[in-house]
């Protein structure tokens, strides 16, 4: 057994199509692990192909959590996810197993590690005013203002991240307390467990090729029929965010050809992968593992095991 399974948690994260699921499955088999999906779309029972859920065979091999738990007509948020995962971790540890969190949702990962920030109540009037200022003077105007009000918060927010800029200013100005200080009161998994976080990555050309091939495979699996069934349902706002739904609906609504919708899906998935990598690079706690094309899953797993063992013995 690697490390102390009652106190350790392993994260296998990375961009879409990088190969997280296969690595996590093999790792879980070798270290008495159970997998917790950290994917915002695999929670939905009716989104199977579009969310690239593990196969029925893989679900039988290793116990999975946070998959197929709600219907697409139900809303789901990070607070619910955070609470749910905390309960699963406790149960998995109680069985003497290791929780292996797997996914590509950077926001979900950060919430798990650092806790959720409830913050101040919304101030709609102030929020509208800040948004108006951004439209009139640009994001840099708000960023400069945040640097004056709360430089520590500004250092962790990109000038182009308008949503976070507005929220940071909204909290600091309405509460008369620094946004950065309030966020420090969050409580997450980090510090409570022995946590190892591995980001799987490939060079861009290989990753984009895998994305394109995955989309083609989804089409062959019956993605169009899956989306056709979803079209007849009232989708929650969160469910509507799944890549593939909007693109294929354009085809089903005769707004474009299937070929065009597939190309758009590939393009949007590649853009999403780029955003995921940008998010992960912000956090210095993550250990990066670069995967070369043709390298066996077993070799990647062995490398991760060695890194976990090294940390456990240090």
Task: Report pLDDT for 312.
Answer: 55
Q: Is 139 exposed, middle or buried (0-12, 13-18, 19+ CB in 10 A)?
A: middle
275 and 130 assigned to the same domain: no
Q: 212 and 73 in one domain?
A: yes
Do 137 and 261 belong together in one domain? no
Query: Of the residues 137, 162, 183, which one is the last residue of a structural domain?
Result: 183
Q: What is the DSSP string of 121-139?
A: PP-HHHHHHHHHHHHHH-H
Range of the domain at 281: 8-115+187-313
One digit per residue, the tens of pLDDT, for the chain of length 314 reads: 344 444 899 999 999 999 999 999 999 999 999 999 999 899 999 999 999 999 999 999 999 999 999 999 998 888 889 999 999 999 999 999 999 999 998 888 988 998 876 555 677 888 888 888 888 888 898 999 888 888 888 887 888 888 888 888 887 776 666 666 665 566 789 989 999 999 999 999 999 999 999 999 999 999 999 999 999 999 998 898 899 999 999 999 999 999 999 999 999 999 999 999 998 998 999 999 999 988 999 999 999 999 998 665 55
Question: Which tokens in the block code for residue 290?
Answer: 């670069």
**Whether residue 195 is found in the same domain as residue 177:** no
Buried b (16+ CB within 10 A) or exposed e, 37-62: bbbbbbbbebbbbbbbbbeeebeeeb
In sequence order, what DSSP letters do the residues of 243-288 get, joined into one string? TTHHHHHHHHTTSS-HHHHHHHHHHHHHHHHHHHHHHHHT-TTPEE
For residue 50, tell me if it sits in a domain.
Answer: yes
Evaluated on CA atoms 270, 235, 44, 164, the torsion sign reads positive
Count, residues in the chain: 314
Number of domains comprising the chain: 2
Q: Do 193 and 299 belong together in one domain? A: yes
Torsion, Cα 279 284 285 289, to 10 degrees, reads 70
**Is 259 a domain residue?**
yes
pLDDT at 181: 63
d(CA 150, CA 181): 9
Write out the two tokens for 294.
């043709």
Specify if 2 maps to a domain: no
Q: How far apart are the first and last CA of the chain?
A: 16
Which domain CATH number covers 144? 1.10.20.140
Kindly state whether residues 158 and 262 are assigned to the same domain: no
Give the phi and the psi of residue 224 in degrees, each rounded to 5. Answer: -60, -45
What pLDDT, on a 0 to 100 scale, did the predictor assign at position 148?
A: 86
| pLDDT for 159 | 81
User: Rounded to the nearest 5 degrees, what angle is found at the Cα of 256, between the Cα atoms of 251 and 258?
Assistant: 55
> C-alpha dihedral over 202, 274, 272, 27, to 10 degrees?
30
> What is the C-alpha to C-alpha distance for residues 144 and 167, in angstroms, rounded to an integer?
15
Decide which of 141, 161, 183 is a domain's last residue: 183
Rg (CA), the chain: 21
Neighbours of 120 (CB within 10 A): 17
Residue pair 266/211 in contact by the 8 Å Cβ criterion: yes
d(Cα 43, Cα 173) in Å, to the nearest integer? 36
Residue 1 lies in a domain: no
Tokens at residue 198, please? 């591995």
DSSP 176: S
Query: Residue 218 sits in a domain of what CATH number?
Result: 3.40.50.300
């Amino acid at each position: 057994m690697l490390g102390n399974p009652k106190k350790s948690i392993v994260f296998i994260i990375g961009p879409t199509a990088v190969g997280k699921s296969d690595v996590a499955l093999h790792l879980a088999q070798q270290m008495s692990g159970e997998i917790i999906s950290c994917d915002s779309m695999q929670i939905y029972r009716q989104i199977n192909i579009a969310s690239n859920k593990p196969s029925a065979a893989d679900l039988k091999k290793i116990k999975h959590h946070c998959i197929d738990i709600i219907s697409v007509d139900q809303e789901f948020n990070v607070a619910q996810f955070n609470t749910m995962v905390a309960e699963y971790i406790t149960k998995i540890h109680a069985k003497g197993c290791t929780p292996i969190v797997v996914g590509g949702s950077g926001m979900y990962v950060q919430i798990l590690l650092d806790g959720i920030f409830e913050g101040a109540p919304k101030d709609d009037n102030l929020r509208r005013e800040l948004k108006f200022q951004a439209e009139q003077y640009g994001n840099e105007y708000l960023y400069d203002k945040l640097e004056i009000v709360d430089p520590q918060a500004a250092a962790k927010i990109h000038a182009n991240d308008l949503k976070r800029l507005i929220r940071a200013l909204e909290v600091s100005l309405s509460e008369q307390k620094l946004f950065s200080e309030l966020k420090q009161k969050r409580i997450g998994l980090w510090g409570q467990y022995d946590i190892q976080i591995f980001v799987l990555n490939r060079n861009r050309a290989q990753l984009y090729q895998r994305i394109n091939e995955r989309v083609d495979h989804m089409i062959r699996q019956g993605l169009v029929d899956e989306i056709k069934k979803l079209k007849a349902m009232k989708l929650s706002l969160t469910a509507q965010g799944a890549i593939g739904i909007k693109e294929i609906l354009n085809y089903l609504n005769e707004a474009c050809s299937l070929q065009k919708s597939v190309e758009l899906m590939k393009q949007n998935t590649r853009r999403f992968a780029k955003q995921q990598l940008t998010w992960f690079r912000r956090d210095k706690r993550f250990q990066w593992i670069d995967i070369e094309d043709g390298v066996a899953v077993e070799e990647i797993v062995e490398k991760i095991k060695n890194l976990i063992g090294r940390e456990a013995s240090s």
